[in-house]
Amino acid sequence: MEYTVAGYGLIWLSLIVYAWRTRRRLAEAERQLASQETE
Amino acid sequence: MDRRSPLVAWLGIAALTLMLIGSIVGLFIVQADAEMGDVQRLMYVHVPAAWTAFLAFFLVFIGSVLYLVQRDQRFDRFAAACAEVGIVFIALTLATGMIWGKPTWGVWWTWDARLTSTALLLAVFVGYLAIRGFTDDPDSRARWSAVVGILGFIQVPIVYLSVVWWRTLHQPPSSPRSVSSEILWTWMLNFVAFLLMFAYLVAQRSRLARVEAELEALEAYDV
């Protein structure tokens, strides 16, 4: 069962980390855009 | 679509909920395979991850063709978003396949036609993203990416048919008639969950590409 749990765990971890990282990149890009537009 | 759009947020929540249900069904509800045992449960995420990746690369192909016809940057950004998310799913397909292969075949990796062609597919789309970093000119970046995106998609039917064309360790393609309804429904459940997650990630990644393009345009204007 350990291989199976490792596979499912990898799927969950990878998708959550990728989604979180994309959200963070988006927030940073939006912050930069807002600050450039106000300059 | 705005990052804070309720539709995108609900898409994310729906994806996570369905993924949770799919994982519970795959891990605990469906019966373990009589021959392979529990490790066969990996197929309930391995196969849907592969289908999602194939769909992602098909959408890269569509976005690339539309860009070359219309010369509209929105198609290029959509194709790039699908490529990046597709890479995540094809990498997960390879990883779950390797985790299944170790207890079943006795090795993490073998240079089997299906495995090798899938690794090549991953490499092609990593190359697609690398090419996008070679130039700052949005038009030439989109043009070259579109060409690689279209040529890269050719690898998808090669991966799919590799088990038919060559003698491989990997089992032949499954069809609704070759698997039990229990397996089929668990696949479909996880496939829908991954599709929702794919749609959520592409929506977020496309929005990021649009903001980056606006930033690039502002920087070019300042210079």
| Residue at B93 is within a domain | yes
| Residue at B141 is within a domain | yes
| Residue at B104 is within a domain | yes
Tokens, residue B127: 């190359």
Mutate to test the interface with B, among A3, A30, A35 (most CBs of B within 10 A): A3
| Residue at B1 is within a domain | no
- Determine the distance in angstroms separating the CA of B217 from the nearest CA of chain A, rounded to an integer: 11
Query: Which candidate, A11, A7, A38, places its Cα nearest to that of B38?
Result: A7
Query: What does the alpha-carbon distance between residue B176 and residue B165 come to, in Å, rounded to a whole number?
Result: 21
Q: Phi and psi for B37 in degrees, rounded to 5?
A: 80, -150
Q: Which amino acid is at B36?
A: M
pLDDT in tens, chain B (223 residues): 455 678 899 999 999 999 999 999 999 998 887 778 888 999 999 999 999 999 999 999 999 999 999 999 999 999 999 999 999 999 999 999 999 999 999 999 999 999 999 999 999 999 999 999 888 888 999 999 999 999 999 999 999 998 888 888 888 877 777 778 888 899 999 999 999 999 999 999 999 999 999 988 887 776 5
- Determine the distance in angstroms separating the CA of B163 from the nearest CA of chain A, rounded to an integer: 23
| Residue at B223 is within a domain | no
| Residue at B164 is within a domain | yes
Q: Do B96 and A7 touch (CB under 8 A)?
A: yes
CB nearest to B100's CB, from A7, A15, A30: A7
Identify the domain containing residue B30 by its residue range: 6-218
Q: Convert B75-97 to b/e letters by CB count within 10 Å (16 or more is b).
A: bbbbbbbbbbbbbbbbbbbbbbb
Angle of helix B138-153 relative to helix B155-165, nearest 10 degrees?
20
Query: What does the alpha-carbon distance between residue B86 and residue A18 come to, in Å, rounded to a whole number?
Result: 12
Q: Say whether B211 sits in a helix, a strand or coil.
A: helix
Q: What angle do CA B136, B77, B148 make, to 5 degrees?
A: 75
Domain count along chain B: 1
- In A, what residues contact B, Cβ < 8 A? 1, 3-8, 10-12, 14-15, 18-19, 22-23, 25-27, 29-30, 32-33, 36-37
CB nearest to A26's CB, from B88, B96, B208: B208
Residues in chain A: 39
| Residue at B98 is within a domain | yes
| Residue at B111 is within a domain | yes
Q: Which amino acid is at B180?
A: S
